[in-house]
Structure 1
Amino acid sequence: MGQLEGKVALVTGGTTGIGLAVASRFATEGATVYLTGRRKTALDAAVEAVGAGTVGVQSDVSNLDDLDHLFATIKERSGRLDVVVANAGIADLARLGEITEEHYDRTFDINVKGTVFTVQKALPLLPDGASVIVLASTNASMGIEGMSVYSATKAADRNLARTWAAELAGRGIRVNAISPGPIETPGIRGLGASAQGEPQLADSLAAVIPLGRLGHADEVAAAAVFLASEESSFTTGAELFVDGGLVQV
């Protein structure tokens, strides 16, 4: 039996990168997985990749009507939700002088508003003892040029997880954050392209990580399995860094 046998899990932003890796690992560990994405083609491909029993629901986490549809679907099909992984997020480079209102609003709407209302609207489906996992970032603990807005959203996400852990402790619902460091994903490659230096970006990131390399999405997924499973039954309000030692050493 897998570590998540019989559990029902939701992974938002599950069509690529860390989200897809988490969804795949959850399915392997025996969970029924719901995953979301904004683009139907990518969503269909992710559902096929994760495997039988996976349910894809096209959804934008910053759109509350989409979230209502998502949780109505989960309620109708499964009746409960044991694990929520609030993973959906975006990261775009913009130095202070380049930040626009549209950049600010879009980043906060998806990364913070989306997290808040994903977890809020999941509450009626969460049994006592459920697990909520919020994807934060090492950027929340560092000052990275061009990443101020993104980093602010991830600092907010980390604090949301801490506060919700206190609010939901009476029901035994555990809320934890995972803060990945630089992970080899399409998102990292996209940032490199936007900075017109993809290979240089990857090399520069690897050079400052004590383990000397970028992380893999599967390594973040392993941390998510731990926090979703009974192995972490006495862990709540925590921030689990999966960063190769970047902000630890």
Structure 2
Amino acid sequence: MGKLDGKVALITGGNSGIGLTAAKLFVAEGAKVVITGRNPVSLQAALAELGAEQARAVQGDVADPSSAVQAVNTAIEAFGRLDVVYANAGIAASTPLGGTEQAAFEEVLRVNVTGVFFTVQAALPHLKAGASVILTGSVLAKTGRPGNAAYAASKGAVSSMTKVLASELSPLGIRVNNIAPGVTRTPIWGQAAMEHWKQAEAAMSQSIPLGRAGEPEEVARVALFLASDDSSYIQGADIAVDGGAGSSPLGAPVYRKNA
């Protein structure tokens, strides 16, 4: 018996990184999944990995509410129900004060905040008691990393939105929780960082108490927990998956060396 037997999940940004890893894990645990993504090539490659019987793929941009409606309709038409919404899709961009165009700033907010809200709104008519909504935040919502105002603001907004949606959906028996990853080995860091990951990880790990970056599987397992009935009494939570970077920054290696 899988933890998600009989359940149907929508995972936005399910064509790479944490989203694809979670989709694979959900399928392995018995779920049917619908994944979305903007890149048609990686989307079809992901679908091939997941299997046509267990998954569907919908190309679209979460910043466009009609894409969310299309993805939800695909889930209902293909699998007859919707039990889990993992609003995982997001983008990162450098938006330094004094050197950022308005369009670049607003694009981050459209995808990371507006897109999340309208994904959940599109799914709501089909969610029943026991359903789980999972949002994706970030440790950067609270760490003050220079040059990341739009991204940090968007992920802070997701954390706040989690609480509001949990309040609104609690009377319906629907749970809403937020996963806040820290440094994780995914393509969001860009091609250069991925090609030289060991060096990039070594530098970033100096600020992580556990002394390493996370793997996408470690975040996906938290998503599985929240998607399953194992988390039936968890509501409105921010769950950090960051090696302690947010909760215990003074325990990071950079401080231990200088102690």
TM range (shorter): over 0.9
**Residue 14 (structure 2) pairs with residue 18 (structure 1):** no
Instruction: State how 1:1-249 maps to structure 2 within 5 Å.
Output: 1-51=1-51, 52-190=53-191, 192=193, 201-249=200-248
Judge conservation of contact 2:185–2:216 (CA < 8 Å) in 1. yes
Q: Distance in 2 between the 1:181 and 1:85 partners?
A: 18
What are structure 1's unaligned runs of at least 5 residues? none
The code of the aligned residue for 2:121 comes to Q
CA contact (8 A) 1:79 1:125 kept: no
Match in the other structure for 2:256: none
| Runs (5+) with no aligned partner, structure 2 | 249-259
Distance in 2 (alpha carbons) for counterparts of 1:198 and 1:21: 18
**Matched length:** 246
Question: Please, what TM-score do these two structures have when normalized by structure 2?
Answer: 0.91
Does the residue aligned with 2:108 lie in a helix, a strand or coil? helix
Alpha-carbon distance between aligned partners in 1 of 2:187 and 2:224, rounded to the nearest angstrom: 22
User: How much does 1:162 deviate?
Assistant: 1.1
Local SS of the residue matching 1:25: helix
Distance 2:156 2:193 in 1: 22
1:124 CA drift (Å)? 0.6
Residue 179 of structure 1 contacts residue 239 of structure 1 at CA under 8 Å; is this kept in 2?
Answer: yes
Whether contact under 8 Å (2:95, 2:105) holds in the other structure is no
SS at match of 1:134: strand
> Offset at 1:213?
0.6
Counterpart CA distance in 2 for 1:172 and 1:107 is 31
Q: CA deviation at 1:231?
A: 0.6
CA contact (8 A) 2:186 2:216 kept: yes
Q: Which moved more, 1:52-61 or 1:178-187?
A: 52-61
AA aligned to 1:71 is V
Deviation at 1:192, TM superposition (A): 4.3
For residues 19 and 215 of structure 1, the distance between their equivalents in structure 2, rounded to whole angstroms, comes to 14
Contact 2:22/2:217, CA 8 A, preserved across alignment = yes
* Cα-Cα RMSD: 1.6
Take 1:69 and 1:75, find their aligned partners in 2: how far apart are those partners? 10
1:100-130 deviations in Å (ceiling 9; x for gaps)? 1111121111111100100001001101110
Q: Secondary structure at the match of 1:96?
A: coil
Between the aligned partners of 1:198 and 1:232, the Cα distance in structure 2 is 33
Shift of 1:190: 4.4
Separation in structure 1 between the aligned mates of residue 218 and residue 96 of structure 2, nearest angstrom: 30
The answer to whether the 8 A contact 1:189-1:198 is kept is no
Provide the rounded CA distance (Å) in 2 between the counterparts of 1:112 and 1:190.
Answer: 25
